[in-house]
Amino acid sequence: MGTIVLRHVAEDKVGDRDVVDTGAAMIGMGGDNVHCGVCGREMMHDVPIRSMKVNLLYRCTGCDSINELPPDA
């Protein structure tokens, strides 16, 4: 599919949203390659993140930053 660069979220803006630690990498069965908005590390490979119906945040294992899917993705 495509490449998506996530948007960084400051720790004080997380609120009550759930944060998923992507570990070394999340690997799916078809979708986009998703990169950290801070360090550029690939966090997810072939994951259908655009069709996920939840408002999750994602923690990058590389730089420990918190990211979200940009609204225009």
Instruction: Say if 32 falls within a structural domain.
Output: yes
Digit-coded pLDDT (tens) for 14-69: 999 999 998 777 778 889 999 999 999 999 999 998 888 778 999 999 999 999 99
- DSSP 8-state code for residue 34: E
Higher pLDDT, 31 or 1: 31
Q: Which of 26, 34, 37, 28 lies closest to 64, judged by CA?
A: 37
Give me the number of domains the chain comprises. Answer: 1
Instruction: Say if 72 falls within a structural domain.
Output: no
Instruction: Say if 73 falls within a structural domain.
Output: no
Instruction: Say if 22 falls within a structural domain.
Output: yes
**Structural domain that includes position 16:** 3-67
For 54, list phi and psi in degrees, rounded to 5: -115, 155
